[in-house]
Amino acid sequence: MEDKTITSFDPKSGFNRATRTFHSLKPPLHLPPPNATISAPSYILSLRRNSPWSDSVTALIDSATGRHLSYAEFIHRSETLASNLASLFALSKYDTALILSPNLLHVPILHFALLSLGVVVSPTNPLATRSELTRIIRLSKPTIAFATSAVVNKLPDEFRHGTVLIDSPEFESLITASRPGAKPERVEVSQSDVAAILYSSGTTGKVKGVMLTHRNLTAMAGAYDVFRAQREKPAVFLYTMPFFHVFGFTLSLRAVVLLETVVLMERFGLRRAVEAIERFRVTHIAGVPSMLVAMIKDDVTAAYDLSSLECVACGGAPLGKDTAAAFKSKFPKVLVLQGYGLTESTAGVARTSNPEETSRCSTTGKLMPGVEAKIVNPHTGQPMFPAEQGELWLRGPSIMKGYVGDPEATSATLVDGWLKTGDLCYFDHDGFLYVLDRFKDLIKYKGYQVAPAELEELLHSHLEINDAAVIPYPDEEAGQVPMAFVVRKPQSSLHEAEIIDFVAKQVAPYKKIRRVIFVDSIPKNAAGKILRKDLNTIALERSISRL
């Protein structure tokens, strides 16, 4: 007998009134059985056959040197590297590999090789400090490290299988020199096995290691296969996101599914980015809101031919409607797609996918295939209805296994299979998701809740402001007041009173900015998220210096 509580949902919003759960209206995922022994790379390589192109398509291009590899070369080098790592370094299933590197051509090859062996991939920010790396190593317990010569000195010399320099002749030999009889036996990798440990943003507290399984990665890959677009030739994607972030990590796997050409940048710079767009006829950019702001406000873009650009996929942090509108005004032929996801959800769980959906201001789109969601009242724990605001909870095959070495954080975040995101959100009556802000970032002013993201969007719209961030500042009478950190444009003489007045004219009285600090830059992580803990430190230091 059919379960009506599952099937009877609103065809417009995907909302099931009986369970108060939102369901994806996209085509279903066709994944291997949960108990199947198939690794994420094997599944991803099987999906690439759905592409109309052959493996002769260019897979990777180094934007700095122009060096490139085809997919045939990418696959061959991944297999060669896996064979050599197994035979020469005795790497095997359940080992963990720490990777400390910028976006180099060899990194996606390394990821693919390690995953195919059942080795847990643990990519990390090469800018991490020694103390940050000490915590990361304590969490993931790596048995081998791969690093570049510029940052290897940050690592301890205590890994069981040693440390390998990615930018060395030795590594080049590992990916190109096949050794007779060295091909390893097929590794039995289960869907439930941990594939990667990625690190949460740590914008407000200590970083946590997110365990993603092969099942999580196959679900991500399967969702991209569902969204496969019909094109005359492969998309050319410029990656400004680092591979150690879930956005860049999953996009690099997506590229194999769709046979996209990936142009790599070691570090984002606007001039280098537009040079790469012109030189390699880039059609798509994957980036964060701050990149769009730079493209809007910097005139350097006018000096380059960007006519090949079709689309910008924006994620990692909220994109304000004013920023989206300004970008559309400057680049009217470029589609701006938004998405929402977390490290804990293996990146995107909602996205816009066509011009009609992107025309809706501020939405991050509709649920991806296989994803369920509910909006939960944080005070009562009860699921809520469309257009009601609350905490977003998620369920589906892309949800993480948990936090490595942190059962308390895991049990606090995963409840009966649901991931508590900590984000204040709502769905409208058409099933579009709107992300308002992080619950922990909300400013409590005399009982009112103020979303920093709303004020930050207003500040970004000011012609003399290059960047801005808002945090709560303690106040004896109000509890907390909004404090703004502002980066002025060069030669601007904008004063605190002018900023306060600019915002006050456009918001309710309780949302007004009460304090302003001018800074040279807003501290952000690699995904463009504001590091509010750093801003809190600056605010505290300024407060103490005035005493």
Residue 277 three-state SS? helix
CA distance 351 to 341: 9
Give the pLDDT confidence score for residue 1 in this predicted structure. 35
Per residue in 498-533, pLDDT (tens digit) is: 999 999 999 888 899 999 999 999 988 776 778 888
Is the pLDDT at 202 greater than 60? The verdict is: no
Token pair recorded at residue 379? 């005070």
**The tokens 């150690």 sit on which residue?**
244
Per residue in 272-329, pLDDT (tens digit) is: 999 999 999 999 998 888 788 889 888 899 999 999 999 999 887 677 778 888 899 9
Per residue in 13-58, pLDDT (tens digit) is: 999 999 999 999 999 998 999 888 999 999 999 999 999 999 999 9
**The tokens 């943003």 sit on which residue?**
201
Strands (E) in 240-306, as ranges, are 261-264, 284-287
Q: At what angle do helices 321-330 and 289-297 cross, to 10 degrees?
A: 50
Is the pLDDT at 207 greater than 70? The verdict is: yes
CATH architecture of the region 442-545: 2-Layer Sandwich (3.30)
Domain ranges of the chain: 442-545
Structural contact between residues 367 and 373, judged by C-beta atoms closer than 8 angstroms: yes
pTM for the full predicted model: 0.85
CA distance 312 to 336: 5
Is residue 2 very low, low, confident or very high in pLDDT (cuts 50, 70, 90)?
very low
Token pair recorded at residue 239? 């990656």
% of the chain at pLDDT higher than 90 = 67
Phi, psi dihedrals of residue 265, rounded to the nearest 5°: -120, 130
